[in-house]
Amino acid sequence: MCALAGGTLDSPQIKRVAFSPLPSTTLHISIREQNVLDPETFVNSVRSAHNLLLSSNSKVSVTLPDSVGRVMLIDLEGRFKSRSEALDLIRWKLKKSVPFDMADTHLDYQQLTVRENGDLALLVALVSRAVISQYEDLFTRAGLTPARIDFNSFNICRAFERRMSLTDDSILVSFYDAALVIMAFSAGVPEFIRVKDLSGTMAVDNRVFMEIKSSILIYRERFPDHISKAVFCVAPPDVAQNFQEMVAEATGLSPTLLEIKSAVTPGDEAPGNQESLFPYTAAIGSALRGL
């Protein structure tokens, strides 16, 4: 899935979207091993989809399924003098809690806030170098420069950032590309994140409901003084209404359905309906990074 964005961050426009289908045997999503089983087919597909955008810019932002890595929130004691020192401290803190060798991990972080006790609250994303290096190499072979690589969950948030920023204390519940993502924000800052790969499960399955309900319970037990004022949800158009009702039952709040067709302005050569645009939601969020 590819998307070409234009306009400004305050008024983004999607000029074109494009895709080139991949055989099911091309990819195997894994957190430890290289994901692309048929590099030649993958490269040809990426090149074909990008060509359909009719863009002369070879610099691209890439969005990947959350299940290729890990996203987490951690507290770090004390301060650090440099970014490299921070990365070393994070690796040491997480070395026993991630399913791959921290020495062979690409890691990034963002400082969110300073706790009352002086600890630093950090948003951390990590992925195996074997995984990320293969994607970087294959995009390069396709004639593209992967300037930024991110996870779908972040790019979904980016796609709807303008709408969600109107409410400081909120919860996002998203079911996209077989991944359930639950994020809670306080004063606009993420304070709870849970990502669950539910491949083979329908968005309105009882398992999804139980995952949402248990996650909300855990969040509220952890932050009993934080009251969410709004719930937003993202789901495939064919089940969006039922998903919205399920989220309402799980959270006890009336959720607002976020639709990508309302978050951006489709150009003359891009589809304007939710059914056509929804599969490109993460790609659109990723494309907005270039504005």
The answer as to whether 109 is a domain residue is yes
Domain co-membership, 120 together with 182: no
**Residue 93 belongs to some domain of the structure:** yes
Tell me: do 179 and 121 sit in the same domain. no
Do 180 and 235 lie in one domain? The reply is yes
Give yes or no: residues 103 and 170 share one domain: no
pLDDT category, 227, cuts 50, 70, 90?
confident
Residue 241 lies in a domain: yes
The answer as to whether 29 is a domain residue is no
**Number of domain units in the chain:** 2
Q: Indicate the pLDDT class of residue 98, thresholds 50, 70 and 90.
A: confident
Residue 9 is predicted with a pLDDT of: 87
The reply to whether 170 falls in a domain is yes
Domain that holds residue 80: 68-127
Mean pLDDT across the chain: 93
Whole-number pLDDT of residue 99: 76
Other C-beta atoms closer than 10 Å to the C-beta of 197 total 16
Task: Give the pLDDT confidence score for residue 116 in this predicted structure.
Answer: 81
- Number of H helices and E strands in the chain, helices first, is 10, 13
Q: Do 172 and 117 share a structural domain?
A: no
- Could you read off the pLDDT of 18-48 as tens digits, one per residue? 999 999 999 999 998 999 999 999 999 999 9
Q: Residue 83 pLDDT more than 90?
A: no
Q: How far, in Å, CA of 271 to CA of 240, rounded?
A: 19
What token pair was written down for 70? 């890990």
Residues 102 and 173 both lie in one domain: no
Task: Report how far Cα 267 is from the mean position of its chain's Cα atoms.
Answer: 24
| Residue 161: partners with Cβ closer than 8 Å, 6 or more residues away | none
pLDDT one-digit tens code per residue, 112-145: 988 888 888 999 999 999 999 999 999 999 999 9
Specify whether 177 is located in the same domain as 252: yes
Model confidence, pTM: 0.92
The CATH number covering residue 249 comes to: 3.30.420.40
**Beta carbons of 193 and 183 less than 8 angstroms apart:** yes
Rounded Cα distance, 6 and 4, in Å: 7
CATH assignment at residue 89: 3.30.1490
